[in-house]
């Protein structure tokens, strides 16, 4: 009987296991996890902190014992596993070493949390894991926080800003970048979002870096690169993630910013696959590989890897950068890469709504929609279909749906074909 290992049991690891069992694979599977928790959804951590979701809700696939019965696998003692790709072996946290026929690396990413000046660790928070969420929820429960600095104008950062504001905590929101969502939003879109945030009492400190920080009079003093200062009770760092690839012995597997994979989720080492946030798969908009740290991407890559480990021949065509985010009564949707060349065109610009896109060769290669949320699924569908090179004939029904939900006629025509009226 073949022997497989899955290292990391989040969305990608879980779906790989589910995928390989779904095609009838009876290999012996051993799962390496950092904690004894069942697979969880990092996206839900902020909902748990807010109190919109109970603790069990963080684990959408159920309890570990139940999963073991359903998917027939064993778990090694929790802790960081270490992979020797050359020898096809893994050292578990208890020091035991096992060899495998095939392995999946699904170790995800970790929040990047550098020290903030001289602040002690108990004043610095982040948001990725269940324990990050439990820790933030606990301090919020003590009412010790009156004013908080959120560093990182990211999708995670805005969720933290929202939950703190809902609790009546004054928020200072900062980033080295000049604008919010620097990799997903055009500057013009960012400016509209920032106006909405300022209108809700959030203090924006963009375009500056935290240069120093220390404790003073029971609070945290923060210094920025322009010489300005803020006094807060805590700092939440949301400045991004780093792929969790430190578990692989150096120089064995091709790693760029993440583990490089092909469309079958194969790495540069035969028998070793990778999926999810730790890997760099195909980005359809640039015809190359890139990190795409998104849940659905991890699910599809995991399932593809699992089926291929089982001996199937399945390819995953790839994805594009995208975000669909709701915060503080605003809906921001972005598809594609804002830095791609093309003609930039604004389609809607009124009091509440904004739509801008990059047009290249008569097609939409990137789009930002603000408060035009109802269209997001259909817009993404059309962009992906185009990028997957499917011939997409004009679809009158879809056109009607998009127009009815408020997407401008000209943008609709660029997406689905047909008349520009
Ligand atoms: C606050 C927040 C909001 C988000 N919002 C969205 C959103 O709106 N939409 C969206 O699409 N995505 C969102 N994401 C991203 C999404 O959660 C991830 O893309 C997805 O969870 C990636 O799944 P994964 O399985 O690749 O990695 P992970 O979920 O990171 O799982 C990897 C697992 O591997 C384990 N591991 C790591 N190293 C080792 C080792 N050496 N040995 C054993 N185990 C190891 C880790 O402990 C972890 O459990 C959000 C993330 C966060 C944190």
* CATH for 405: 3.30.390.30
Condensed to tens digits (0 to 9), the pLDDT of residues 349-376 reads 988 899 999 998 888 889 999 998 676 7
Locate the ligand 1 atom nearest the alpha carbon of residue 9 and give its number: 33
How far does the centroid of ligand 1 lie from the alpha carbon of residue 37, in Å?
A: 13
In-domain check, residue 317: no
Nearest of 299, 277, 275, 42 to residue 156 by alpha carbon:
42
The predicted structure's pLDDT at residue 405: 75
How far does the centroid of ligand 1 lie from the alpha carbon of residue 10, in Å?
A: 6
At 389, the pLDDT band (50, 70, 90 cuts) reads low
Q: What is the DSSP letter of 248?
A: B
Q: Are residues 175 and 129 in the same domain?
A: yes
Strand partners, 224: 210
Ligand 1 within 6 A of CB of 8: yes
293, 109 in Cβ contact below 8 A? yes
Nearest of 231, 233, 261, 257 to residue 245 by alpha carbon:
257
Q: How many domains, in total, are found in the chain? A: 3
Pairing mode, strands 343-349 and 354-360:
antiparallel
Condensed to tens digits (0 to 9), the pLDDT of residues 177-191 reads 999 999 999 999 999
Condensed to tens digits (0 to 9), the pLDDT of residues 142-157 reads 989 999 999 999 999 9
Ligand 1 within 6 A of CB of 140: no
Given a cut of 90, is residue 167 above it in pLDDT?
Answer: yes
Mutation probe of ligand 1 site: the residue of 49, 158, 244, 296 with most atoms within 8 A of C-beta: 244
How far does the centroid of ligand 1 lie from the alpha carbon of residue 217, in Å?
A: 37
Strand partners, 205: 174
Nearest of 133, 247, 199 to residue 352 by alpha carbon:
199
Ligand 1 within 6 A of CB of 298: yes
The predicted structure's pLDDT at residue 401: 79
In-domain check, residue 315: no
* CA-angle at 111, arms to 245 and 40, nearest 5°: 85
Q: Whose CA is nearest to atom 28 of ligand 1?
A: 108
Given a cut of 80, is residue 394 above it in pLDDT?
Answer: no
Q: Whose CA is nearest to atom 7 of ligand 1?
A: 43
Alpha carbon of 140 to those of 11, 134, 168, 273: distances in Å? 28, 10, 11, 40
Q: Are residues 209 and 254 in the same domain?
A: no
Given a cut of 90, is residue 408 above it in pLDDT?
Answer: no
- The reported pTM is 0.94
Mutation probe of ligand 1 site: the residue of 40, 92, 107 with most atoms within 8 A of C-beta: 107
The predicted structure's pLDDT at residue 245: 97
In-domain check, residue 316: no
| Cα 368–chain centre separation | 18
Q: Are residues 259 and 341 in the same domain?
A: no
The predicted structure's pLDDT at residue 419: 53
Mean pLDDT of 397-420: 77
Given a cut of 70, is residue 66 above it in pLDDT?
Answer: yes
Distance, CA of 169 to CA of 171 (rounded, Å): 6
Distance, CA of 112 to CA of 44 (rounded, Å): 19
At 404, the pLDDT band (50, 70, 90 cuts) reads confident
Q: Which of 25-29, 153-157, 282-286, 400-404 has the lowest mean pLDDT?
A: 400-404
379, 357 in Cβ contact below 8 A? no
370, 331 in Cβ contact below 8 A? yes
What share of the chain has pLDDT > 90, as a percent? 80
The predicted structure's pLDDT at residue 351: 81
Other beta carbons less than 10 A from residue 199's beta carbon? 9
Locate the ligand 1 atom nearest the alpha carbon of residue 301 and give its number: 26
Strand partners, 106: none
Which of the listed residues 208, 237, 266 is the one where a domain comes to its end? 237
The predicted structure's pLDDT at residue 409: 86
Alpha-carbon dihedral 159, 163, 169, 171, rounded to 10 degrees: 10
In-domain check, residue 79: yes
- For 365, the enclosing helix (H) or strand (E) is strand 363-370
Ligand 1 within 6 A of CB of 301: no
The domain of 394 spans 322-416
Mutation probe of ligand 1 site: the residue of 30, 126, 150, 293 with most atoms within 8 A of C-beta: 293
Given a cut of 60, is residue 421 above it in pLDDT?
Answer: no
What share of the chain has pLDDT > 70, as a percent? 96
319, 303 in Cβ contact below 8 A? no
Ligand 1 within 6 A of CB of 34: yes
Q: Are residues 17 and 87 in the same domain?
A: yes
Q: Are residues 75 and 17 in the same domain?
A: yes
Locate the ligand 1 atom nearest the alpha carbon of residue 325 and give its number: 8
The predicted structure's pLDDT at residue 124: 98
Q: Are residues 160 and 124 in the same domain?
A: yes
Alpha carbon of 87 to those of 98, 176, 243: distances in Å? 10, 43, 23
How far does the centroid of ligand 1 lie from the alpha carbon of residue 277, in Å?
A: 6
How far does the centroid of ligand 1 lie from the alpha carbon of residue 294, in Å?
A: 8
Mean pLDDT of 39-46: 97
The predicted structure's pLDDT at residue 29: 98
The predicted structure's pLDDT at residue 392: 63
The predicted structure's pLDDT at residue 417: 66
How far does the centroid of ligand 1 lie from the alpha carbon of residue 63, in Å?
A: 18
Q: Are residues 197 and 289 in the same domain?
A: no
In-domain check, residue 293: yes
The predicted structure's pLDDT at residue 143: 86
Ligand 1 within 6 A of CB of 7: yes
* More confident of the two residues 378 and 275: 275
Q: What is the DSSP letter of 177?
A: S
Given a cut of 70, is residue 390 above it in pLDDT?
Answer: no
How far does the centroid of ligand 1 lie from the alpha carbon of residue 147, in Å?
A: 29
- For 91, the enclosing helix (H) or strand (E) is strand 89-91
Q: Are residues 161 and 263 in the same domain?
A: no
Ligand 1 within 6 A of CB of 132: no
Look up the CATH number of the domain holding residue 83: 3.50.50.60
Please enumerate in sequence order all residues whose Cβ is within 8 A of that of 80, keeping only pairs 6 or more positions apart, or say none: 34, 93, 247
How far does the centroid of ligand 1 lie from the alpha carbon of residue 203, in Å?
A: 30
At 280, the pLDDT band (50, 70, 90 cuts) reads very high
302, 106 in Cβ contact below 8 A? yes
Ligand 1 within 6 A of CB of 277: yes
In-domain check, residue 204: yes
Q: Whose CA is nearest to atom 43 of ligand 1?
A: 33
Q: Are residues 329 and 409 in the same domain?
A: yes
Q: Are residues 168 and 155 in the same domain?
A: yes
Q: Are residues 20 and 56 in the same domain?
A: yes
């Amino acid at each position: 009987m073949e022997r497989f290992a899955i290292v990391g049991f989040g969305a990608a690891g879980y779906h790989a296991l589910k995928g390989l069992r779904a095609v009838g694979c009876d290999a012996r599977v051993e799962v390496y996890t950092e904690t004894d928790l069942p697979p969880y959804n990092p996206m839900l951590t902020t909902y748990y902190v807010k109190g919109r979701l109970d603790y069990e809700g963080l684990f959408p696939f159920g309890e570990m014992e139940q999963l073991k019965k359903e998917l027939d696998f064993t778990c090694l003692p929790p802790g960081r596993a270490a992979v020797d790709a050359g020898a096809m072996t893994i050292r578990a946290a208890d020091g035991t070493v096992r060899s495998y026929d095939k392995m999946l690396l699904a170790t995800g990413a970790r929040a990047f949390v550098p020290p903030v000046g001289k602040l002690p660790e108990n004043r610095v928070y982040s948001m990725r894991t269940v324990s990050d969420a439990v820790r933030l929820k606990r301090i919020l429960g003590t009412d010790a926080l009156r004013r908080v600095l959120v560093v990182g104008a990211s999708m995670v950062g805005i969720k933290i800003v929202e939950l703190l504001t809902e609790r009546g905590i004054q928020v200072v929101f900062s980033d080295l970048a000049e604008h919010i969502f620097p990799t997903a939003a055009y500057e013009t879109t960012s400016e509209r979002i920032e106006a909405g945030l300022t209108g809700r009492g959030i203090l924006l400190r963009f375009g500056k870096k935290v240069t120093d920080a220390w404790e003073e009079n029971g609070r945290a003093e923060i210094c920025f690169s322009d010489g300005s200062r803020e006094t807060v009770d805590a700092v939440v760092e949301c400045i991004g993630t780093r792929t969790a690839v430190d578990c692989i012995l150096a120089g064995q597997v091709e790693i760029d910013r993440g583990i490089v994979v092909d469309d079958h989720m194969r790495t540069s080492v035969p028998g070793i696959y990778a999926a999810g946030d730790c890997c760099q798969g195909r980005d359809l908009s640039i015809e190359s590989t890139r990190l795409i740290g998104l849940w659905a991407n991890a699910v599809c890559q995991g399932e593809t890897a699992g089926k291929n480990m089982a001996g199937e021949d399945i390819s995953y065509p790839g994805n594009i950068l995208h975000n669909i985010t709701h915060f503080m009564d605003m809906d921001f949707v972005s598809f594609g890469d804002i830095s791609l060349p093309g003609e930039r065109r604004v389609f809607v610009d009124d009091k509440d709504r904004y739509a801008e896109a990059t047009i290249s060769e008569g097609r939409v290669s990137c789009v930002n929609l603000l408060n035009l949320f109802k269209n997001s699924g259909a817009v993404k569908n059309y962009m992906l279909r185009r990028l997957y090179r499917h011939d997409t004939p004009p679809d009158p029904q879809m056109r009607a749906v998009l127009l009815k939900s408020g997407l401008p006629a000209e943008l609709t025509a660029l997406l689905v074909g047909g008349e520009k009226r």
